[in-house]
Structures are given as structure tokens and as C-alpha cells.
Chain A
Amino acid sequence: MRIENHPILIFDRGKILSFFFNGEVIKGYEGESIAAALHAAGIKVLSHSHELHHPRGLFCAIGNCSSCLMVVDGQPNVRVCVEKLREGMRVETQKGKGCLTQ
């Protein structure tokens, strides 16, 4: 779902981009965040809590809360709510706390 009309915000959507979510091709717009594109595609579980592994979705949506940490192009702990979508990027669900690339 995407908001088309908003009383204050203007959505300046660019061209359509393709990216990968856990290997699956998904489309989104240039200029929007990864989280927005995932949400529009119906993907609402972004991460899992460390202790009880409960699903976590969008919460603060401004890069503060760590509820949307995912692996993007191999880099762990990317806050997808504030990371802009790029053509061909690989977005993956993160298992655990994320592994630094050595």
C-alpha cells in the first residue's frame, strides 16, 4: 500500500527500480526508502528481536529505533527506513545481530 495523496507531504516518485528481497525481485520507486518499497510490496516483518525472536516491523521510521535492521548488499545492521532504494540492491533478512565482513 502506498499513500497517494497527503495533506502536507509531496511524494516525488522517480522511475521504477528493481531490487532483491531475500532473492526475490521486487519493484519500488527511486527516491523512496527500502522500507517504503518493502511495505508497498506487503513485506511487514523486517527483523526479529534478539532474545525471543519476535517479529519486528516499521516502528520509528526515522532511523532511531533499530527495529528495521537488515543486511543490504552484504552490510549488516542497515536501517532500511532511512536508506534510499537503489537499482539491483540485495536486501536480506538479518539473522541474529549481524556479522561484520572480515
Chain B
Amino acid sequence: MQKTSSIVIIGGGVIGCALAYQLARRGVKDIVVLEKEYLTSGATGRCGAGVRQQWATETNCLLAKESVRMFENMNEELGYSKDIEFKQKGYLLLAYTDDQWNQFKKNVKLQKSLGIPVEMVKPQKAKEIVPHLNIEGLIGATYCGTDGHANPFHVTYAYAEAARKLGVKIETYTEVIGFEVEKGKIKKVKTNRGDIYAPIVVNCAGPHSGEIAKMAGEEIPIYPERHQALVTEPVESIQDPMVISFHHHIYCQQVPHGSFVMGMGDPNEPTSFNQKSSWQFLEEMAQKVVSILPPLKDIRVVRQWAGLYDMSPDANPVIDELASVKGFYTVAGFSGHGFMVAPITGVMVAQLILGEETSLPVHPFGLERFKRGEYLLEHSVV
């Protein structure tokens, strides 16, 4: 492995690979991506694969909207030999309480003001969009037809392939074990396969980014939290949009292959690195999804798994340089919606590092916001 580099990116997930490509595209040489296992082995490869623009904060709406635009042209932009499988079949968000409905009204007003094509729909209209939806107890829903899903493996490989063509070195099975900091500046990254000198390090380690920052000597408020998902056998296509119920903490989509992919968040899940799947999830997931989408009672589950969200205190990312270690950037804390905003994140972070003006403002994602109490509270998280 090489001994020097211009920028070391830690983490071979979608964020790290997108960033590597965007930096290389801007002419940066000697970029190294370090991944402790294989590409997509962490949160990226375990995610629900959804891409939505219907958020409650302006920052998330804009990140997602710009990313959708990039997903639309990604195969061509990256010269990808396969297909990232981006399908814009919409997202249907269900409201079961007046509080939720009122929140949705505010969200839609914000989303519309930002140019996101979203509409509020009555239960009957929701049933036209998803004919097998059980509308009992449903107050209303919001629908955005340009939301959708993409294949997180292909997206990551597409960025990695394009980055490699531009000279980026991707070192898999290479674990970061420490740093050398000199006079408040990052100097060296220590790995299980040797050390690399680097004047700039970007921490894209998702749920492990807290540990990585600690190795550099600073605490950042990013915590791992287990979320679980499952996939069913394929059947003929019956469901276009992703269906989300914040009330039930579930999401469910039918992927192009015909399988249903669904997941659930547990509000009582403790912070930990546990990413084992459980039978309790299987039981609860099945009950909830069948109550909302009854025909799924006859479908068989093929596989279940768990992954880790990189949670931040306000469910929004941290994009910032460490105050005490210059040259050490954190790009993590995406709290379950990192995949869908990865394309524009790669662009913004590359611009930030190179001292260019960023496409969207980066300052709202600073670490200082937690100290100042300026939380970007995002409620629309499963």
C-alpha cells in the first residue's frame, strides 16, 4: 500500500465513494479510500434503498432534490457499464393522526416552496395510487411522483469504478487503527496494513465515525443504532410507490425484480453496534405491513438482515472540520437517509475541501450547532 496521499477517505460506502469521485473529477491526485471490509459492507449495503424528497427541513429537502436530479443522469455521468436501477415510482407517506396530518401540511408547504412536486391526497386517492392499501384509520397521505429508489450496490460501484478510472486507490480490508496529529493538524493515518501520510482525512465511516473521530482525539455526537429489514420472494409488480407510515415506523417498497423490501425502526432501540437480526422484528414487521398492505399476507420472506444508522442528535448529518484537528473532516450522521443524499453530498464536500463555493450551504451541518442548541430537527425519519 502507498505511503503518501493527498486525501484519505475513510469508509467505502456510498458517501466515501461519491466523494472520492467528485474530488478526482476536480483534478485531485493521490486519493486513497480505506474500507475495513468490502465496498457497501456497512450501512449502504443494508439500507432500504429509497430516494425521497419529502422532508420536514429545508436542508434535507434541498439535498434530496439535488440528488434526485443527479440520480436521473447517473449512469451517463459516471459512464457506468451496468445500471443503477433508479426508478421514479413515487413515495406515499401515510398520516394516521391529526398531529401527523398537520405536520404533513407544513411539510408540503415547505416542499412546494422549494419546487418539489408533492401533493396531499385523500384516503380514496391514496388507494388509487396503491390499490391494495388498507385505508382504514387513514386521515390522508402525501405523494411525490419523482421520489423513488435506486440500487445502493450499483450506485456505490458506479462511483467507485468512475473514481478508479480517475486514479483513486481503493484499499479494501484495510482498517484505520489510529492517527498522528501534529500541532493541531492531521499528519498520518495508521492502518492494519501500514501508515499513510495525509494532510487531509475525511471520516465517512457512518456508524463508526464516532470511534474514528475519537482516535483523532475528539468526541462527535454520532451513534450507531440498529434498524432491521427483510426481503420477500418476487411476485408480479403491484406496487409502484414506496409506502411509509411514521405511525407504524415502517416502510415498504416493491423493487423492479418483484421482491418487496421493507423495514422498521424501533423507537426503543438502544445505541449499540449490535447488527444481528431478530425474530421479534420478523413478527412485528409482518403484522404491521399486513395491516397496511393486506395482500402481503400470502407472500414469503426470503431473507432478513440488520444494519446501523449513524444517528446524530437532530437526525441530520455533520459536515465539518474538527476544531482541534485541522484537515480532519467529518461527513457522517445521516441518520438513515445518507444513501439518498449521497450524490450531492459528494459534490458539496469536495467543494468544501477545495475551498470552492458549495452548491448548497454547508454551514447548517456544522458541529457547533449542537453546542449552540440550533438543532435542525427532522421528524420524518423511520
> A-side interface residues toward B, CB under 8 Å?
50, 66, 75-77, 96-102
Q: Could you tell me the distance in whole angstroms from the C-beta of A48 to the nearest C-beta in chain B?
A: 14
Contact B238 A99 (CB under 8 A): yes
Contact B238 A102 (CB under 8 A): yes
> B-side interface residues toward A, CB under 8 Å?
131-132, 233-236, 238, 258, 295-296, 298-300
Supplied contacts A99-B236, A100-B299, A102-B132, 15 more A-B pairs, CB within 8 Å: A76-B298, A77-B233, A77-B235, A77-B299, A97-B234, A97-B235, A97-B236, A97-B258, A99-B238, A100-B235, A100-B238, A100-B296, A100-B298, A102-B131, A102-B295
Inter-chain contact count A-B, CB under 8 Å?
33
A interface, by DSSP: helix, strand, loop or mixed?
loop
Contact B295 A101 (CB under 8 A): yes
8 shortest interchain CB distances as A-B pairs: A100-B295, A97-B234, A97-B258, A99-B236, A102-B132, A98-B235, A97-B236, A102-B295
Bound CA–CA A100/B235 (angstroms):
7
Q: Select from chain A the residue with minimum beta-carbon distance to B234.
A: A97
B interface, by DSSP: helix, strand, loop or mixed?
loop
Bound CA–CA A98/B298 (angstroms):
11
21 contacts between A and B (CB under 8 A): A50-B234, A66-B233, A75-B298, A76-B235, A76-B298, A77-B235, A77-B300, A96-B236, A97-B235, A97-B236, A97-B258, A98-B235, A98-B236, A99-B235, A99-B238, A100-B238, A100-B296, A100-B298, A101-B295, A101-B298, A102-B238
**Which residues of A lie under 8 Å from residue B236 when comparing CB positions?**
96-100
Bound CA–CA A100/B239 (angstroms):
11
Bound CA–CA A66/B236 (angstroms):
16
Q: Select from chain B the residue with minimum beta-carbon distance to A101.
A: B295
**Which residues of A lie under 8 Å from residue B295 when comparing CB positions?**
100-102
Q: Could you tell me the distance in whole angstroms from the C-beta of A62 to the nearest C-beta in chain B?
A: 15
Q: Could you tell me the distance in whole angstroms from the C-beta of B97 to the nearest C-beta in chain A?
A: 27
Bound CA–CA A101/B235 (angstroms):
11
Q: Select from chain B the residue with minimum beta-carbon distance to A79.
A: B300
